[in-house]
Chain A
Amino acid sequence: MSRIVLEIKNLSTHFFTDSGEIPAVDQVSLHVHKGEVVGIVGESGCGKSVTSLSIMQLVPNPPGKIVGGEINYKGENLAFASEKRMKKLRGNEISMIFQEPMTSLNPLFTIGNQMREAFRFHQKISKKEAREKSISMLKLVGIPRAESIIDDYPHQLSGGMRQRVMIAMAMSCDPELLIADEPTTALDVTIQAQILDLMRKLNEEKDTAILLITHDLGVVADICDRVVVMYAGQVVEEGSKREILKDPKHPYSQGLIRSLPRIHEREQKLYSIPGTVPKPKLGRVGCRFAPRCELAFNRCFEGNPELYVTGEGRRSRCFLYDKQEGEAINDATTEAVIGD
């Protein structure tokens, strides 16, 4: 496969709060190739946003802090890079869009003013040139009447339009990597599809790598090449989109897929994994999914599973895939859960 753009190794980001140290991101490793779309999937609170903000060094500090690991961007470790270095990269080589289009633009400045900055922070160009480039970016992301919209204020635009503006702004300097933290969650379904199409188009035309954070496997099915599943601050499974959707190994991924609504099945009730994500805390013993796992056995409550290799480019954090456990259990479980 092609060159690796981003490689995160054992990244740990903790929050130091009054009620103690919270390991929101715990030894996370993942990588993104050039031009690839990688999805990070997981329920609310499992550390997706903190992982993505760590890459940009935008975790609110205090209380958050990267405490260990590497974030290698094109061979350079950014985990502890200086603010000066990060300033050069942000918005230029790595850019980011956020979940909340309604509040992510400054209400007191025009779209044009805010878009202009994206260029002027990184390129030596005049206001006029920046304005022209902004207009063509707005056209690229499918905003009608870009010439007049550019002088509007954010409150004059709909949520979908604002998210397009955010994407246009993020794409201004042709970044190598676009991090999109739940870019469609706040939008309604038709707009959601349009935004995903747009991102796919930009990915194909400009060969921009995308790290797409979502809790929605439907979004993954739409545009991702590869998927990383996170649970309680850890990566629990990794593989290609096809493999994860067709043949999830980890009981948590299996649960996520079972809870997808399906048209061709006449199940009345939608499945959902019982219980909720545990609050991250230090020194936890046992598999973090054990309290909710239907397949949990004794060992799950006593030791911490590692990421076991389960195939070509696939890993799963579950004792069922530890070579020491019998092959028999392994086969039985995968069959039981996947009926597709």
Chain B
Amino acid sequence: MFSYILRRLLMLIPVLIGMTLITFSIVHLIPGNPAQVILGETATANAITELEESMGLNEPYFVQYGHYLMDLVQGDLGTSLRSKAEISKEIWPYIAATFELTIFAMIFAVVVGVNAGIISAWKQNSWFDFLAMMVALIGVSMPIFWLALMEQWIFAQELGWLPAYGRQNSRDPIAAITHFYVLDSLIHLDFSRTLTILKHLILPSIALGTIPMAIIARMTRSSMLEVMKSDYIRTVRAKGSGQFLVIYKHALKNAIIPVLTVIGLQTGVLLGGAILTETIFSWPGIGRYVYEAISYRDYPVIQSGILVVAFIFVLINLAVDILYKKIDPRIKY
């Protein structure tokens, strides 16, 4: 197992190099002079030359790429044009915010989706099955911004049960350590704050987790139905097993394998593409960070944001592959 993980990590190197090539190209694929684009129409020739020099844009591409790689290896993501701060220092809170939200959204999606799928398959064609699959169908086809707005309207505005915006009570901010606020509040042993932070997580998690939840429910159901027909399930029943063990031990472990791929992919999608949800809920995540960078043409930030998200995507893929191997003894590499 250990050597497998090591081998997979080594195999990541070419992927990472490819990723850096792409993010590096972003700046150079912009039509015209990047410095000109960055500084805008009204920039003086002097300012453009100055910026070109400071960005190293007057050097050959491969030299520039070499510098870029060397910086990355040392953990230097460059400097934000807008805030003039080092990106590697400023990006972490955004990553943590997105991570925290993604984790809760995926917990919601997996717990609800997998169980709904199992019960639907178990009680195939029952009213539960019908209802669950109906909800799942609506879930995948519903515009998420609409769901988010509805949530805010019902649960924040009308009922006043849950906060509609942000990660925490903005008048009483937490002293962040890891920037995972739930974790931080636990470290501070400040449990009432934990509760507040969890409350802030509920609405965006549901909004973000609904599509994955629906996809997972449908996948689990069809996978379970397939597995329940197999010979080894009949064997378990012939041994005198109760339904619960048949389903949650023997069938689920087999049925979850194809679902894992979906869970991995969806996690990646949430990490990278939650701009809309983060905007609606004023969630200071990586999506918003990059989105704002785009409107300011802050290219180093855009580059870094994309690189970080892509990197996380690759890591999640690796995690899924390792899980596969843990679950299925037949997989050999």
Residue B235 at the chain A interface, CB threshold 8 Å? yes
CB distance from A181 to the nearest CB of B (A): 10
Mark each residue of chain B from 292 to 329: 1 if its CB lies under 8 Å from any CB of chain A, else 0: 00000000000000000000000000000000000111
Bound CA–CA A155/B254 (angstroms): 15
Contact of B329 with A108 in the complex, beta carbons under 8 Å? yes
Contact of B241 with A107 in the complex, beta carbons under 8 Å? no
Residue A211 at the chain B interface, CB threshold 8 Å? no
Bound CA–CA A88/B254 (angstroms): 26
CB distance from A214 to the nearest CB of B (A): 18
Please give me the residue from chain B that is nearest to A119 by CB atom: B239
Residue A92 at the chain B interface, CB threshold 8 Å? yes
Residues of chain A within 8 A (CB-CB) of B230 are 103
Bound CA–CA A166/B250 (angstroms): 16
Interface secondary structure of B, over-half rule: helix
Residue B232 at the chain A interface, CB threshold 8 Å? yes
Residue A117 at the chain B interface, CB threshold 8 Å? yes
Known: A90-B240, A107-B254. A58 touches B234 (CB 8 A): yes
List residues 75-110 of chain A with CB under 8 A from any CB of chain B: 83, 87-92, 95-96, 98, 100, 103-109
Q: Which of B238, B242, B254, B327 contacts A58 (CB 8 A)?
A: B238
Residue B330 at the chain A interface, CB threshold 8 Å? yes
CB distance from B123 to the nearest CB of A (A): 12
Contact of B232 with A106 in the complex, beta carbons under 8 Å? yes
Known: A107-B254, A155-B330. A91 touches B232 (CB 8 A): no
Contact of B236 with A106 in the complex, beta carbons under 8 Å? yes
Bound CA–CA A272/B149 (angstroms): 73
Query: Which of under 10, 10 to 19, 20 to 34, or 35 or more describes the interface residues of A?
Result: 20 to 34
List residues 240-285 of chain B with CB under 8 A from any CB of chain A: 240-243, 250, 253-254
Residues of chain B within 8 A (CB-CB) of A114 are 236
16 residue pairs bridging A and B, Cβ less than 8 Å apart: A83-B243, A88-B240, A91-B239, A91-B241, A92-B240, A98-B238, A103-B232, A104-B231, A104-B234, A104-B235, A106-B236, A107-B232, A107-B254, A107-B330, A117-B239, A169-B235
What 6 pairs between A and B have smallest CB-CB spacing? A91-B240, A91-B239, A90-B240, A106-B232, A103-B231, A121-B240
Residue A229 at the chain B interface, CB threshold 8 Å? no
Using a Cβ cutoff of 8 Å, how many contacts connect chains A and B? 74
Bound CA–CA A88/B330 (angstroms): 33
Residues of chain A within 8 A (CB-CB) of B330 are 107, 153, 155
Binding site for A on B (CB under 8 A): 229-243, 250, 253-254, 327-330
Contact of A96 with B240 in the complex, beta carbons under 8 Å? no
> Given known contacts A90-B240, A95-B239, A106-B254, what 4 new A-B pairs fall within 8 Å (CB)?
A83-B243, A117-B241, A121-B241, A170-B238
Residue A122 at the chain B interface, CB threshold 8 Å? yes
Residue A56 at the chain B interface, CB threshold 8 Å? yes
CB distance from A164 to the nearest CB of B (A): 14
Please give me the residue from chain B that is nearest to A56 by CB atom: B238
Bound CA–CA A166/B242 (angstroms): 19
Contact of B239 with A90 in the complex, beta carbons under 8 Å? yes
Residues of chain B within 8 A (CB-CB) of A121 are 239-241
Q: Which of A60, A96, A107 contacts B238 (CB 8 A)?
A: A96
Known: A104-B231, A104-B232. A58 touches B237 (CB 8 A): yes
Residues of chain A within 8 A (CB-CB) of B250 are 106, 109
Residue A8 at the chain B interface, CB threshold 8 Å? no
Contact of B238 with A105 in the complex, beta carbons under 8 Å? no
Bound CA–CA A83/B321 (angstroms): 39
Bound CA–CA A111/B231 (angstroms): 16
Contact of B235 with A98 in the complex, beta carbons under 8 Å? yes
Residue A118 at the chain B interface, CB threshold 8 Å? yes
Contact of B234 with A117 in the complex, beta carbons under 8 Å? no
Bound CA–CA A54/B253 (angstroms): 28
Bound CA–CA A121/B250 (angstroms): 14
Bound CA–CA A169/B240 (angstroms): 12
Known: A98-B231, A100-B231, A106-B250. A91 touches B328 (CB 8 A): no
Please give me the residue from chain A that is nearest to B234 by CB atom: A58
Bound CA–CA A118/B235 (angstroms): 10
Q: Which of B233, B236, B254 has the most CB of A within 10 A?
A: B236
Known: A121-B239, A121-B241, A122-B240. A108 touches B328 (CB 8 A): yes
Bound CA–CA A268/B233 (angstroms): 44
Bound CA–CA A92/B232 (angstroms): 18
List residues 100-143 of chain A with CB under 8 A from any CB of chain B: 100, 103-109, 114, 117-118, 121-122
Contact of A107 with B240 in the complex, beta carbons under 8 Å? no
Known: A153-B330, A155-B330. A105 touches B235 (CB 8 A): yes
Contact of B231 with A117 in the complex, beta carbons under 8 Å? no
Bound CA–CA A98/B239 (angstroms): 12
CB distance from B16 to the nearest CB of A (A): 33
Residues of chain A within 8 A (CB-CB) of B231 are 98, 100, 103-104
Residues of chain A within 8 A (CB-CB) of B236 are 106, 114, 117
Contact of A155 with B232 in the complex, beta carbons under 8 Å? no
Residues of chain B within 8 A (CB-CB) of A117 are 236, 239, 241
